[in-house]
Structure 1
Amino acid sequence: MSLFTSNPKANEPSTTPAAAPPPDVPTGVARADSPLDERQGLTAERVRVLVRLIQCPVCSFPLREPVTLPCGRSLCKPCLPSTHLRTRISYPATADRLQGLQCPFPDCRAEHALGDCGLDVTLNDLVSAVRAEYEKGRNAALASKLVTHVSTKDEWEIAGIPSLKDADSRSRALPGGRLLATYLLADMGDLDYNAEVTYATPDTEDHADLDATVLAKVKEMTLAEVDCHVCYAVFYDAVTTPCGHTFCRVCLQRVLDHSSCCPVCRRRLTIQPMNNRAASPANELLRKITTAFCADLVELRGQAISKEGLKSDNHEFDLAIFVCTLSFPSMPTFLHVFEARYRLMIRQALEGDRTFGMAMYDDDSGFAELGTVLRIVNVEFFPDGRSLLETVGISRFRIIRHGMLDGYVVAKTERINDISIADEEQLEALEARGVVSGSGRAASPGAARFPTSTQEVEGLPTQTLMDFATDFVRRMRGQSVAWLTARILAIYGECPHDPALFPWWFANILPVRETEKYRLLGTTSVRERLKMCCGWILEWESSRW
C-alpha cells in the first residue's frame, strides 16, 4: 500500500472503466487507493519505513555518496567492500574493470566490477535535499523545544527474544515529532537498519504539525528528484546505468536503440534493459521511494507506457527492407539505387529517420532472416532518378514476419543485441583456460601461444584471440595481399584495435564465403565473433577459400 499520494482526487469514483494494469509492473509498485494527509497516518510503522528509505543497509547511517550496484541494491560508497584483482579477464580489461568486489548483500554475493559501481547521481541529489529538510526541521524543533522519546527494538526483541542491550541505552529524547526524532536517531548511528521503534511521548498537535511540515518538504524535495531525464515523468521501473544516471527502463532502451551512449554523460553503455532484465535489474531503492511518495503517478505512467506499447503493436511492420547485400554494424555500405521500388523506399527513408534494413538475398526465401539497419549518411541524386548512397550500419535485426509495400519488402523485426560487458567477462572466465593477469595479457607463455587448431581457439583469452587476428592482418599486409590494398583501407579504415569493432571490419575485408560472414549477424558476444574470425584465419592459413 502506498504511504502517500500526490493526487488529491485519487479516491473519487471514476466514471470510466478501469484500465488494465500495465505490463511488467515493477515489483512492489502499489496502487494508490486513498489520499493520505501528511498530518494523518504517521504510525510508528510508517515513520520507520520513511526513515529506512534513506538508511544504508550496511552501516545504518543515512546514505552518504550512495552507490547503486549492478544487482540493483544501494549502499554508501564508504561501505563498499574492499576490492580485489579479477582473474581470467582480458576484455575489456580497463583499470576499473580489472578491480572487482564481492556484493555485500547475502542474496546476491556476485562479483561486481568496480567500474559498474559509480555514484548514483539521482539518489545522491535526493538524499542531500532530504537531509537539508530534516536539518531545517531539527532547528525548528530546538527553537520550539519539542521533544519525542524514542525507543528501539532490535531484531531479538522483534523476534520475541529478550535483548542483551540495556533498555536505557535504547531510549532517547530527541527534538521534534516522531518522524524527525526517528531520523535524528538514525543520523546519530543509534538506529539499526533492521530495528523498529516505539514512542513514549504522546503525539500532540504541536508534534504532528512539525512532522507534517517536515514531511511535506521531504515529499516536495523527493518528487523534484525522481523525474526521468528522457520522458520528464516520474521514474517507472527505474534502471541506473554503470555511470550512475537513472532512467525509466523503456526510455533508456529507446535511447540505446539509436545510440550506445548515456544520454547525460555520453559514456558508452553495453546494457540492454528491455532484452535482458536479469542483467539490468531495477533500482530497488528508487522503486521503494516512488512507491512510498507517488504510487499514483507511477501507476499513471505505467498505463501510459502500456498504451504506447499497444499502439506500437498495432503497426504490423516497422522496417523497410532493401534486399541486396550483406552489411555489418559500424561499417559503411555503398549502394547504387536504380530500381523504381527502391528509389521510392529511399525517398521515404530520407523523409523519415534516414534508416532502412539491409538483408542479403536468399535463394529459398528471397531474403535472409538476419540483417543490418543502415542509416543514410550521404546521398547523390542523378537527373534520371538514380542515386548513390553512403550508409553506415547501426544495429542488427531478425525478421519476425514480413509483407510487401509498393513493391519492396517491409517487416516486423526484433533487434539483436550483445550481452552485457559483465556477461562477456563471465563468458571469458568460464571458457579461457589460461589465467589472465591484470595487464589483460595471458600470464603464462602457454596461454599466450597463438592457436593452431579450432579446439585451441575455444580456450584462449579474448585478448589473445584479438592479438592473433591483428597479427594475421599485419602479416598479410606485409605480403601485399590483393584484399588488403590502400583502396580497401580507404573505404573501411585501418585495422581497428577495439575487439568490438574488429570482427565487422575483418568480415568486410577477408574474402571468405558470404554464408560464413552471415553467421556473424546472429552472434551476441564479442568473444564469439573473435573466435569465428580466428577460425577463418586458421582455415585461410591451411588452404584458400
Structure 2
Amino acid sequence: MDRGNKCPLCRTVIFMTPRTCAVSVTLNNIIQKNFPEEYAERKSEQDTLVHLGNESMPLFVMDVIIPSQKLSLHIFEPRYRLMVRRIMEGNHRMGMVALDSATGSPVDVACEVEITECDPLPDGRFVLELESHRRCRIVKAWDQDGYRVAEVEWVTDIPPQSDQEKTDLQELTSSAATFARSWLDRAKEAARQGDRRRLEILLNVESMIPTPQDPERFSFWLATLTDRRPSERLELLRLQDTGERIRRGLIYLRSVERGCRMQ
C-alpha cells in the first residue's frame, strides 16, 4: 500500500525512510524472542522488496531512454511514490522503458537509470534528477504492488573482431568526437543569443561527454545531442554495432545543421 510521509500522531512531514529511524532495542528483543519465525519472514520480505538483486529492477514505464542522458521526473502516482521510496532504501536504481503502441506492453529493452537527487515534497510526491547508465533486455516482468518489476540481462555491443576493426572504430570515434565538440560550440553560441533553455540543455549534455577511448558509451552520448523520435531511440538502444550507432549520430547532427529532420 502507499503510505504517507507524515507522523501518525502529530502529522508533521518526516523526510526519512523507516530504515533511517532508530530501532527500539527493547521492543526489537521482545519481538524476536516471542515471534522469531514471523520476524525472520517479515525481514526477508522487506529485504526482497528493497534489494531485488543485480538481475532484477523496478520499471518506470514512460519513454525510451538511452545511456548518457540526464533528466528530471515528477513522481505523483501512488504506485510510483511507493516504488521510489523502496528504491531510495536500496541502490537508487531503476529501469526506464517505453510501451509498445501496438501491444500496450513494455518493449523488450530498457535503460538503467540512477537517482542522483531525490527531493520529497510535503504531500508525498517526489522530484527526481536521473542519469542513465546501461541498457538491458527484459527477460520477464511481473506486477508488484501496482508497479512493474523485471528480471533483466545486460546488453553490450559486439566487440570488434580484429585489430584492424578496432583501429577503424577508434579512428571513427576520435573523428566523431572532434566534430561533436565543434558542433556543440556552434550550438551553444547560437543558443546564447536568447534561447537560455536550449543553452542549459546543451551544457548538461556537454557535462556528460565520455572519453573517445570508450566508443560504445561515446556512441550513445553522441545520439543525445539531437532530439530523436522514440522509435529512433529504440533502434539505437537495440543496436549492438558501435560504429553504426556513431555513424547514425553523425547523420543526425549534420541533418540538424542543415535545418532539417530525418524522416
- TM-score of Structure 1 vs Structure 2, range by shorter chain: 0.5 to 0.7
Residue 395 of structure 1 aligns with an amino acid whose one-letter code is R
Q: Tell me, what secondary structure is at the counterpart of 1:334?
A: strand
Counterpart of 2:82 (choices 341, 344, 365) is 344
Shift of 1:534: 1.1
Describe the superposition over 1:223-259 as per-residue Cα deviations: whole angstroms up to 9, x where unpaired: xxxxxxxxxxxxxxxxxxxxxxxxxxxxxxxxxxxxx
Residue 507 of structure 1 aligns with an amino acid whose one-letter code is A
Describe the superposition over 1:321-342 as per-residue Cα deviations: whole angstroms up to 9, x where unpaired: 1001333324323211110111
**Structure 2 residue 190 is matched with structure 1 residue 474:** no
Residue 359 of structure 1 aligns with an amino acid whose one-letter code is V
Residue 479 of structure 1 aligns with an amino acid whose one-letter code is A
Aligned length: 202
Q: Is this contact kept in 2: 1:428–1:462, CA < 8 A? A: no
Q: Is this contact kept in 2: 1:496–1:505, CA < 8 A? A: yes
Partner Cα distance (2:208, 2:59) in 1: 30
Counterpart of 1:510 (choices 226, 248, 258) is 226
Q: Tell me, what secondary structure is at the counterpart of 2:191?
A: coil
Describe the superposition over 1:423-454 as per-residue Cα deviations: whole angstroms up to 9, x where unpaired: 4854355x68xxxxxxx86xxxxxxxxxxxxx
Q: Which residue of 1 aligns with 2:118?
A: 379
Q: Is this contact kept in 2: 1:462–1:530, CA < 8 A? A: yes
Partner Cα distance (2:110, 2:244) in 1: 18
Partner Cα distance (1:371, 1:328) in 2: 8
Describe the superposition over 1:9-48 as per-residue Cα deviations: whole angstroms up to 9, x where unpaired: xxxxxxxxxxxxxxxxxxxxxxxxxxxxxxxxxxxxxxxx
Partner Cα distance (1:402, 1:424) in 2: 37
Q: Which residue of 2 aligns with 1:329?
A: 67
Percent identity between the aligned chains? 27
Describe the superposition over 1:308-351 as per-residue Cα deviations: whole angstroms up to 9, x where unpaired: xxxxxxx9x82211001333324323211110111111111122
Shift of 1:394: 2.6
Q: Is this contact kept in 1: 2:81–2:124, CA < 8 A? A: yes
Residue 361 of structure 1 aligns with an amino acid whose one-letter code is L
| Moved beyond 4 Å, runs of 4+ | 422-426, 481-484
Q: Which residue of 1 aligns with 2:136?
A: 397
Q: Which residue of 1 aligns with 2:247?
A: 531
Partner Cα distance (1:483, 1:526) in 2: 33
Q: Is this contact kept in 2: 1:470–1:495, CA < 8 A? A: no
Q: Which residue of 2 aligns with 1:192?
A: none
Shift of 1:495: 7.1
Q: Which residue of 2 aligns with 1:414?
A: 153
- For the structure 1 residues 514 and 425, does the alpha-carbon distance in structure 2 shift closer, same or farther, using more than 3 Å as the test? farther
Q: Is this contact kept in 1: 2:69–2:208, CA < 8 A? A: no
Q: Tell me, what secondary structure is at the counterpart of 1:345?
A: helix
Shift of 1:383: 1.3
Q: Tell me, what secondary structure is at the counterpart of 2:110?
A: strand
Q: How does 1:22-171 map to 2 (within 5 A)?
A: none
Larger proportion of helix: 2
Residue 518 of structure 1 aligns with an amino acid whose one-letter code is L
- For the structure 1 residues 424 and 398, does the alpha-carbon distance in structure 2 shift closer, same or farther, using more than 3 Å as the test? farther
Q: Tell me, what secondary structure is at the counterpart of 1:371?
A: strand
Q: CA RMSD in A?
A: 3.1
Gaps of 5+ in 2: 1-52
Comparing 499-508 and 326-335, the one that deviates more: 499-508
Q: Tell me, what secondary structure is at the counterpart of 2:224?
A: helix
Describe the superposition over 1:341-398 as per-residue Cα deviations: whole angstroms up to 9, x where unpaired: 1111111112222211111233223322211111222211111110111222232111
Q: Which residue of 1 aligns with 2:209?
A: 496
Shift of 1:408: 1.3
TM score, norm. by length of structure 1: 0.33
Residue 385 of structure 1 aligns with an amino acid whose one-letter code is G
Q: Tell me, what secondary structure is at the counterpart of 2:223?
A: helix
Larger radius of gyration: 1
Residue 398 of structure 1 aligns with an amino acid whose one-letter code is R
Comparing 467-476 and 317-326, the one that deviates more: 467-476
Partner Cα distance (2:208, 2:139) in 1: 34
Partner Cα distance (1:424, 1:354) in 2: 38
Q: Tell me, what secondary structure is at the counterpart of 2:227?
A: coil
Q: Tell me, what secondary structure is at the counterpart of 2:243?
A: helix
Q: Which residue of 2 aligns with 1:358?
A: 96
Partner Cα distance (1:383, 1:497) in 2: 37
Q: Which residue of 2 aligns with 1:465?
A: 176
Shift of 1:542: 4.5
Q: Is this contact kept in 1: 2:135–2:154, CA < 8 A? A: yes
- For the structure 1 residues 497 and 470, does the alpha-carbon distance in structure 2 shift closer, same or farther, using more than 3 Å as the test? farther
- Highest relative contact order (Cα 8 Å, sep 6+), 1 or 2? 2
Q: How does 1:406-445 map to 2 (within 5 A)?
A: 406-420=145-159, 423=161, 426-429=164-167
Q: Tell me, what secondary structure is at the counterpart of 2:151?
A: strand
Q: Is this contact kept in 2: 1:495–1:502, CA < 8 A? A: no
Partner Cα distance (2:257, 2:140) in 1: 40
- For the structure 1 residues 349 and 467, does the alpha-carbon distance in structure 2 shift closer, same or farther, using more than 3 Å as the test? same
- For the structure 1 residues 428 and 531, does the alpha-carbon distance in structure 2 shift closer, same or farther, using more than 3 Å as the test? farther
Q: Tell me, what secondary structure is at the counterpart of 1:372?
A: strand
